[in-house]
Amino acid sequence: MLPEFLGEFRAPLERYKLDYVKILATPVPAGESLPLLQSKFLGQPFLPVGTPHPHDEKGQPMLLLAQLNFAEIPALAGFPTTGILQFFASPTEWYDTEDYKVLYHAATDAEPQTDFSFLTSALYEDSPIYKEHALAFSLATEYGGAEDCRFDMAFGDKDYYEYQATLAKAQQEELDDYCNNSGHRLGGYAYFTQGDPREHEPNGQTDVQLLQIDTDEEIMFGDAGLAHLFISPAALANKQFDQAYFYWDCC
């Protein structure tokens, strides 16, 4: 709901309206694992027989950090409605934004691989996601993102932070809450602890956030950081997910 003091900015804020999908991540009890096709953080991937499991530059099997089955996710404009998207990272150098893999499986009825005995417990010791998580999804709407370079709205003759400085403390907190984009999500505005990397890329300022994974009780990227996958609108439209890129930052 729009805070009352922002009423004068209702019309311009409408121009920044974005739908996104909230992700609720729930750790799986010890000793249990989720079905191969199910959306998850960590766990075993759906890989059709004949599809090589990704390996990092050291030759180590990569870890599945996120799997998104779009058949389980509310329809989001521009995103697929079927197929499975996967984000793999190195077990020891997960922080290396050059050593990762994004896969998309358009068909999910192929015979899956079932032998993952090579994914030993030692590979998970440095993982930023500590436990396998089941994911639940809900569609939501937002109207801005204080840290997202695509949100460049002027509040009168002031930018976001200049305007915020003119408000009483309670209103400053309301504005922060209204434009807070933390949490696990697909699409929508992105939240950062350091800054938006797309802002400095000539052709990157319209890139879409595919996925945001935030710090949680059993998840920690660096010091209370966040991980993101971004992709150009054209690559997203053409399902060219190999063009998605990984970025993370922390406090």
Helix (H, G, I), strand (E, B) or coil at 6: helix
Is residue 82 over pLDDT 90? yes
**Average pLDDT of every residue of the chain:** 96
Q: What is the pLDDT of residue 39?
A: 98
* Fold of the domain built from segment(s) 4-249: Hypothetical protein YwqG fold (2.30.320)
Cα distances from 170 to residues 4, 109, 192, 234, 246, in angstroms, run 12, 53, 23, 41, 36
Where helices occur in 26-85 by DSSP H, the ranges are none
Q: What is the pLDDT of residue 203?
A: 86
Quickly state the pLDDT bin for 1 (edges 50, 70, 90).
confident
**% of the chain surpassing 90 pLDDT:** 96
Q: What is the pLDDT of residue 201?
A: 87
- CA neighbor of 179 nearest in space, from 35, 31, 62, 16: 16
For the chain, give the number of residues: 251
User: Would you say the C-alpha torsion 119, 123, 127, 131 has a positive or negative sign?
Assistant: positive
Q: What is the pLDDT of residue 129?
A: 98
Domain ranges of the chain: 4-249
Quickly state the pLDDT bin for 202 (edges 50, 70, 90).
confident
Q: What is the mean pLDDT of residues 50-63?
A: 97
Q: What is the pLDDT of residue 142?
A: 96
- Distance, in Å, from the CA atom of 11 to the CA atom of 192, rounded to the nearest integer, reads 26
- Distance, in Å, from the CA atom of 248 to the CA atom of 94, rounded to the nearest integer, reads 10
pLDDT tens digits along 101-111:
999 999 999 99
